[in-house]
Structure 1
Amino acid sequence: MTKKITMEDLAREAGCSRPQVSRAFNGQPNVSPEVRARVLAAVERLNYRNTANRHQVRIVVIVRDTSGMYGPLMLDALVKNACARKWVCHTVFEQNIHEIPDCFYDGAVSLIFNKSWARKWVEERTTPLVMINSYGTAFDKICSIDPDSSDGSRIVLQHLQQLGHRRIARIHFVDVEEEKYRRGQEEFLQEAARLKLGDSVRNFQFVLSETSLEDGIKAVLSQGFTAIHMIHQSLGIPAAKIIQSAGYRIPEDVSLVTFELPHISSYLTPAHTTIDFNYQEMARRALDELRLKMHGKESDGGAILVPNLLHIRESTGPCRA
């Protein structure tokens, strides 16, 4: 079992007193720059983490921006969960990662899928890192808390199958950078096979710079699909408008499943049946994992999968084809 590093150990390593270590570690001004530098170097060499009972845990959440739906909702769930644990929670934008002092935070959570800097973090820092929603990508020594793509596909397909649908299309519009990931496609087709839907279920992935939203959706509709699962929160409403403007009724002609827009999806006409991330559970699992890592639990990395939520509303109905 790894020996717990104490402030006394840091003092001996840095060649100063314990009070000086405490002042340097907590950023207090009454300590010389030379002593502070020696203490911070000792913190890094010994991989020190302050896990004393009276220590208030500080974590940082790394974000790219606060636009869209997913980021703010996930951040809100993390902040609430951290506050319930009486942890201090700060937010830092991706471009300011270099300004995060390695000894100031007990742990970090990233809402950004960025393979290069994640690996660099592990190589250069001692602060434990947990990632959320990293496109199912496994990282060495970094745990990722991901929504379960197989579970999401399964509950959508089961719902549509129970309504009599067999011709089901999953439509995914991506930008050029996302094209190579094909997120969720394999899981969707695997779940269709398990439900014995076979070749009647298809995945369509379009690159936005090459195919317009309207052209892509109309091309799918022309092939006789009776149900559509539309990927991305931002595309659910425009997809419904395109389907209706093309002369199809929702759900009489085409059932539609989108992603949940809080306080919006349930008020649309018709109200959308949606798949939803379980933000509170993802936040809880992420901070549970971070707490273990802060206390020295080793991790080989990999993904922890969290089941999704399905909100059944008026945009899905019996297949009448």
Structure 2
Amino acid sequence: MRKKSESGIRQIAELAGVDVSTVSRALNRRAHVQPATAARVFEAARQVGYQQKPLRRVIALILPESRTILKWYSINVLNALRLEAEQRNWWLEIISADQIELLNERAVEGVISFDFNNHLAEKIGSTRNLPMVCINDSARHIDRVYSVFSNEFQAVNLAVSHLVGYGHRRIGMIINGDPESYCNRTRHEAFDRMMRVHNLSAFAECVHGKHSPGDPDSLVRLLHGAVLRMAECGVTAIINTGESEAASVLHSLEVCRFRVPEDFSLITWEMVDVSKFLSPPQTTLCQNFAELARRAFDTLEKLVAGEPVCRDTLVDYLLCDRSSVAIPPRGR
């Protein structure tokens, strides 16, 4: 005697004019079922009164390329998205940016990407009819691709204003990562603007984009050089961008025999559960990862439901005021 569920699936197959395996794939939202066929299957299931256990919805989560080592930023974004997905009853299909062809073999309702190197809004949005949200990367609204950004202008404004409040007049910024990425271009523009607002000279240098991936010490040498050049220019405070390089620039200052904050004040990006334990405890700018994840899912769920999304979303940074900022040394 056939089980009731098997009998129901056969009824659906006969009514929809497809085979049993197609019914199974459609009901379980697997790939390789044409939308029109899936619609017939769901209508047939409704007519025969077939009931199945509710399925968890699935979205694709796009990480940076496989060769990219996930560091502080990526790990924090990934953890925040995993926790938010669990709260909202979503399953995550995790795919690296160099494996997006796998989307052709997966049945997903949408995409969240936090790849920051490949401009996936253009690659995915223009070729696949999937709602998509990019975290800290450009959007493509014409293809239903929207972005959730950390507010880089607000972050740099916080840092510069904090240093100016301590009396610093010669402030430098070390920019880590690809200088052409959205975040770094925005940070550089914000720094130049804030320098003009306060009538100060800007000392900005991009180092990470020049280092050799095969030589991990090359970044350290570049940071040493940047610190020494800023010291020669009379800089008294440094803003160092990027979570993964926060400890590196502190190390470079120590190697160059500069004390923090006696010789140099320092503001870095927050390494969660680490920055506060460095010596001295670091004053930092912290991305609100939980809020980035929440807003990303809010936007994606609207897109999946066919609801209008009016704009991209900005999420403010938090300033963690600790012990690495002080008044400038006398005579500088």
TM-score, with length taken from structure 1: 0.79
Q: In structure 1, how many angstroms separate the alpha carbons of the residues matched to 2:119 and 2:177?
A: 21
Contact kept, 8 Å, 1:132 with 1:144, in 2: the verdict is yes
Which residue in 2 is equivalent to 1:233?
243
Relative to 1, partners in 2 of residues 1:16 and 1:113: Cα closer, same or farther, differing over 3 Å?
Answer: farther
How many residues align structurally?
Answer: 294
1:82 deviation in Å? 1.1
The 1:139–1:95 alpha-carbon spacing in structure 2 relative to 1, beyond 3 Å, is same
| Structure 1 residue matching 2:147: 3-state secondary structure | strand
Give the C-alpha shift of residue 102 in structure 1: 6.9
Q: Give the unaligned 5+ runs of structure 2.
A: 1-11, 43-52, 213-220
Larger RCO (alpha carbons 8 Å, 6+ apart): 1
For residues 314 and 110 of structure 1, do their structure 2 counterparts lie closer, same or farther at Cα, with a shift above 3 Å needed? Answer: same
For each residue in 1:143-202, what CA deviation from the matched residue of structure 2 results, as whole angstroms up to 9, or x when unmatched?
A: 111111101001111211221212111111445876996341111222333xx4223343
User: Map of 1:11-50 to 2, 5 A cutoff?
Assistant: 16=17, 22-27=23-28, 39-40=33-34, 42=36
Q: What is the alpha-carbon distance in structure 2 between the residues aligned to residue 67 and residue 289 of structure 1?
A: 25
2:298 corresponds to which of 288, 302, 315? 288
Describe how 1:182-261 pairs up with structure 2 within 5 A: 182-193=185-196, 196-206=197-207, 207-209=209-211, 212-261=222-271
1: distance between equivalents of 2:180 and 2:130? 29
Q: Is the contact between residue 28 and residue 55 of structure 2 (CA under 8 Å) also seen in structure 1?
A: no
Equivalent residue runs for 1:140-179 within 5 Å: 140=141, 141-174=144-177
- Write out the 4+ residue segments of structure 1 that deviate beyond 6 Å after TM superposition: 17-21, 43-46
The answer to whether the 8 Å contact 1:173/1:205 transfers is yes
Cα offset, 1:228, TM superposition? 0.4
| Structure 1: runs of 5+ lacking an equivalent | 1-10, 30-35
Question: What is the CA RMSD across the aligned residues, in angstroms?
Answer: 3.5
Identity %: 25
Equivalent residue for 1:59?
A: 59
Task: Looking at secondary structure, tell me which structure has more helix per residue.
Answer: 2
Q: Which residue of 1 aligns with 2:113?
A: 110
For 2:183 and 2:289, locate their aligned partners in 1 and report how far apart those are by CA, in whole Å: 26
Cα distance change, pair 171–43 in 1 and its aligned pair in 2 (3 A): farther
- Per-residue Cα deviation, 1:111-166 (whole angstroms, up to 9, x for no partner): 113555432322332221111111xx342331111111101001111211221212
